[in-house]
Structure 1
Amino acid sequence: MTQYQSRFDTSLKKQHFLPKYWGTWLLLGLLFLFSYLPIKWRDCFATFIANKLYDTKFLNKRKKIAFINLGLCFPEYNEADKDALMRENFRAVTQILLSLGELAFRSQAFLIKRINFIGEHYIKEAEAQDKAIIFLAPHCYGLDFAGAAAISARGYPLSSMFKDYNNPIFDWFVTGYRTRFTKLAGKGTLYHRSEGLKPAIKSLRDKAHFYYLPDEDHGRENSIFTDFYATKKATLPVIGRLAKLGRAVVIPVYTSYNANTSKIDVICHAPLQNFPQGDELQQTELMNRAIEKVIDENRAQYMWTLKLLKTRPEEGVDIYK
């Protein structure tokens, strides 16, 4: 078995218990308490908080970014459409944030019951064919529930990237729950994004699946411009190479908090057929079409507040000013 040991250290040190970190520890304590509250009650409380905060100045910057993204991607949306989508967006992210402690503190059986896993048969079919899987997962607020509670907690081997939070307590907390169930499969790892794709390829060749977030803007130098809804987006053209070198199938996956059932819907679409095919541009375009399709499962739960479109085809343009 080929195991990749990350060089990124998230272990706790003595200095992490100094007073400067007490606020972070208090927050984790609140997440622990929220993880054991009745879910319906917690969801109602999250909705109350979201409605109160939505119109405050605190969120103006993020709302501006989201409205710009939505306007470029969906020119048919008027201001009322954008506002309605973002109100739902903020309600969902608040409900998910208050649920986050479940990933660290609740049992494996509890987490499995929290997930409505749609399309799991695509994973079983790939494994039956001895195929590694690249889970193509755009940035939605519940993505950790897909990786930890839907995939890892069911014993599927999984590797993924980690980007530090510049807070060692959060780094320890997040890496802890993301790797909590790795032992069930006996393989898979978590590594820092700065280490590149080499550990992902090693893991895939060892039949440990890879949870890949493909939609961040990594700048002009590393990207090509591809269609993304009604606009152009700077996109890393690596999915074809990754699938080929890792000998893997690509399964798009999306996570959406269902306010009606108070469960997390994790939705797998069918694997991309005959992939990779064509050149890098064609492969990246195919990837973006798949990303759009899963986002359309629930547009309101995508991270529109990220600067997804910062790098524009026209140099020197800053759309988020």
Structure 2
Amino acid sequence: MARQAKHFDRRFTLSLLHPKYWGTWLAIMVLFMFGVMPAWLRDPIARLLAKLVLSYAKKPINIARINIQTCFPEKSSTEVDELINANVDMFVLTLVSQAELLIRSDAHLRRRVSITGFEHVQAARDAGQPIIFIMPHVWPIDYAGLRLNIELPMVTMAKAHNNGLFNWFSNRLRSSKNGRVYMREAGIRALITELKQDNSFFYLPDEDLGPEQSVFAPLLATEKATLPVVGRLAQAGKAQVLPVKIGYDKAAYQFKLTVMPQVKPEDMQGKDNEAIALNKMVEQVIQAYPEQYMWFLKFLKTRPEGQAKIY
């Protein structure tokens, strides 16, 4: 019997109408209401809602403060607070905007997300190669992934949510441009198969997956446990590796997506070199738009031997 592909099922089932999901349905309806609003109206509302988040989300904000202080020890407490405030603003703005990715047209998404550096994508495609796009966890990550997915066939990988309805909604959104979202359990083989079928891959390299297969490499002012898998994946799938960054222009109500030049294969040879290269890509994105990064994640949970836990 053939192994079943471990990608998320985007089909709607009646089980999603169970009363336990009614609160989630209400939240989704609110998101759809925001999704049809023009950005000039929605953004000021998002900034007001962000003040509520700052008042109530004490635990996530504490995690963000620890992460920022660890990565930028030179920042004063005032500068840390300013970055947290800007980060919460971007979290809420992106959250309430998200439904537009599902209900608005491709033309709308092209207007909302401008692309710089697409010549690097075109060069890879002209060479007959798929692409592994590298982007760490930033709030507008779905804008980046779906904007690129309009231009070329893509897959990605995601962790399942505990809430079945939200799981369906988020992965329906992420696959709305005919992409495919794999579960983590699918493993590297499924991704190699996709690359060999000329489907590009959107990869998030900054999640802390524990010490077992990770390598420690410098990241800003600290060290981070990093999974060195991209080099082998690119080699097996004959793919180019292109870092991507994205920021939001508040005045233009537009996301600015930048595709950076190819990472040289020789820079990713060996696990240590690859971990260093991956963390440099993460640094590039954070330093370009520090307010966009998901500072609320425990991405520094695994510490080098002898170092105390920070959370």
Q: Which residue of 1 aligns with 2:215?
A: 224
Q: Which residue of 2 aligns with 1:242?
A: 233
Alpha-carbon offset, residue 99 of structure 1: 0.6
Alpha-carbon offset, residue 8 of structure 1: 4.0
**Which amino acid is 2:239 matched to?**
A
Alpha-carbon offset, residue 10 of structure 1: 4.7
TM-score (normalised: structure 2): 0.94
Per-residue CA deviation, residues 272-307 of structure 1 (Å, 9 max, x unaligned), is: 124454321012101211221122111111011100
Per-residue CA deviation, residues 214-233 of structure 1 (Å, 9 max, x unaligned), is: 10101111211111111111
The reply to whether residue 153 of structure 1 matches residue 150 of structure 2 is yes
Most deviating of 219-228 and 274-283: 274-283
Please say if residues 135 and 211 of structure 1, whose CA atoms lie closer than 8 Å, have aligned partners that are also in contact.
Answer: yes
The SS at the match of 1:317 is coil
Distance across 2 between alignment mates of 1:123 and 1:238: 21
Q: Which residue of 1 aligns with 2:90?
A: 92
Computed over aligned residues only, the root mean square deviation of the Cα atoms, in angstroms, reads 1.6
- 5 Å-filtered alignment, 1:42-61, equals 42-54=42-54, 56=55, 58-61=56-59
The reply to whether residue 172 of structure 1 matches residue 168 of structure 2 is yes
**Which amino acid is 1:93 matched to?**
F
Please say if residues 6 and 185 of structure 2, whose CA atoms lie closer than 8 Å, have aligned partners that are also in contact.
Answer: no
Alpha-carbon offset, residue 60 of structure 1: 1.4
Identity %, equivalent residues = 36
- 5 Å-filtered alignment, 1:255-294, equals 255-275=246-266, 277-294=268-285
Q: Which residue of 2 aligns with 1:212?
A: 203
- Structure 1 stretches of 5 or more lacking a match? 183-187
Please say if residues 104 and 177 of structure 1, whose CA atoms lie closer than 8 Å, have aligned partners that are also in contact.
Answer: yes
The SS at the match of 1:296 is helix
- 5 Å-filtered alignment, 1:1-321, equals 5-6=5-6, 8-54=8-54, 56=55, 58-148=56-146, 150-154=147-151, 156-182=152-178, 189-275=180-266, 277-314=268-305, 317-320=308-311
Q: How many residues align?
A: 308
The SS at the match of 1:37 is coil
Please say if residues 161 and 192 of structure 1, whose CA atoms lie closer than 8 Å, have aligned partners that are also in contact.
Answer: yes
Distance across 2 between alignment mates of 1:157 and 1:112: 16
Per-residue CA deviation, residues 164-184 of structure 1 (Å, 9 max, x unaligned), is: 1111111211221211222xx
Call closer, same or farther: CA 1:277–1:234 in 2, change over 3 Å.
closer
Per-residue CA deviation, residues 151-176 of structure 1 (Å, 9 max, x unaligned), is: 1123x110100211111111211221
Please say if residues 53 and 88 of structure 2, whose CA atoms lie closer than 8 Å, have aligned partners that are also in contact.
Answer: no
Please say if residues 244 and 276 of structure 1, whose CA atoms lie closer than 8 Å, have aligned partners that are also in contact.
Answer: no
Please say if residues 130 and 198 of structure 2, whose CA atoms lie closer than 8 Å, have aligned partners that are also in contact.
Answer: yes
Please say if residues 10 and 171 of structure 1, whose CA atoms lie closer than 8 Å, have aligned partners that are also in contact.
Answer: no
